[in-house]
Structures are given as structure tokens and as C-alpha cells.
Amino acid sequence: MSVSIGVLGLQGDVAENIVAARTALGTLGIKGTVKQVKTPDEISALDGLIIPGGESTMMGQMSLVNGALKVIKEKIQSGMPVFGICAGLILLSKNAKDRVVGKMDQPLLNLLDVRVERNSFGRQKDSFEAEISADSIGIPKTKGVFIRAPSIEDMGKDVQVVSKFNEKVVAVKQGNILAVSFHPELTHDVSMHKHFIGMIKPKK
């Protein structure tokens, strides 16, 4: 078997996620490909999708323009595992508001039953690195790189908390959706990417 993983490549830290996912595949000993994807056709062929860090407003609008947003939504609804990072978490959510600006009118996938607070820890100067844990998915310790990071304020009953930092929820799981507010792809630890790949069911 071989898995086909895509990183949504409209904008943001796409290359870093490709490297992290390839490294994760290698350490797991799983055969597969990881590539940048932009078009509905490319996305249709995937077994798993990573939505990387970047600007969620931009990614939402551009994926709306070329029809990628609709295909991503259908694929996730039909069971394809997805890993949303920072902007990806925002894009997956049902509801997002900015800490300062307030309610946002931005295109969202409307799948992950959470309310996200954008820029939850402040502006860039407040961005930080800290040790975090995600025990429920077997990651006792990892470095959290939080860059103008969002957090999860409120969530539905089907959402499982994966990690918290100082009482703020920073990683969650809901069925085939894994979403984090920090950037594992900017560290050398690929355990989050490994967990995501583990969510992809092998094709017969």
C-alpha cells in the first residue's frame, strides 16, 4: 500500500509541512507521497490533507475562487483525515472571531465543532515557544511554537481536547480531523505528523 498526502499549497509554510510529513512517513516505514496541492483535481486524489500555517483569510478566499474549498469539504465529510495547523485550524472551524477585531466574515469549512479565537495570545511580539504535551495521543512532551496563534474557546461534545496551554485549548480531535494552534512543522519533532498519518486508513 501507499498513501497519498497533500499539503494545501495556496499560501503559508507548505514546504516545511512537506518535509515534516515525509520524515514522518520515513520513520513510520510507510510508503507514500507528499506533495503540494492547489486544484480540486489534485485534492480529489488524496488520502490525507494537511492545511498549513499562513493567513486563514487569504486561504479561505483563494480556495473559494478555484473551487478547492468545496472539494476539501466533501472529502473530509466522506472520511478523509485532515490535519489543520494554525490557519488550518481556523479554516476547519465552524466559528471564528478575532480577539480584537471581533466577529469575522471569512470563508470557513464549517466542519470542526469549535469556536476559535484568532490571535488569542496577542500579536507577533507575544508569539512564544513553550513545552506542551498531548498525552491522549501518546505525545508526552513536545515543543509548541505559537506564532500569532489562535486558541479554542468553546467546543461541541464530539470534540476531544488533545492539548492545553495555561488553560487555553490548543489542540483538538474530532473524528478524522486533527487541529492544532501551534507549528510542529517548525520543530524537529514529527510526532504530530506521525499521529496524523496514523489516522489515514490503508487502502486495500
Does 184 bind another protein (CB under 8 A)? Our answer is no
Q: Are strands 168-174 and 160-165 parallel, antiparallel or unpaired?
A: antiparallel
Query: What are the helix and strand counts (H, E) for the chain?
Result: 6, 13
The DSSP string of 105-128 is: -------EEEEEEETTT-SGGG-E
Q: Which of residues 3-42 bind another protein (CB under 8 A)?
A: 9-16, 19, 38
- The residue range among 24-32, 41-49, 71-79, 164-172 that interacts with another protein, by the rule CB under 8 A, is 164-172
Does 153 bind another protein (CB under 8 A)? Our answer is no
**Pattern 119-148, binding to another protein, x per CB under 8 A?**
x--xxxxxxxxxx-------------x-xx
Applying CB under 8 A, the residues found at the interface with another protein are: 9-16, 19, 38, 53-55, 57-58, 61-62, 65-66, 86-87, 98, 100-101, 104, 118-119, 122-131, 145, 147-148, 165-167, 183, 186-187
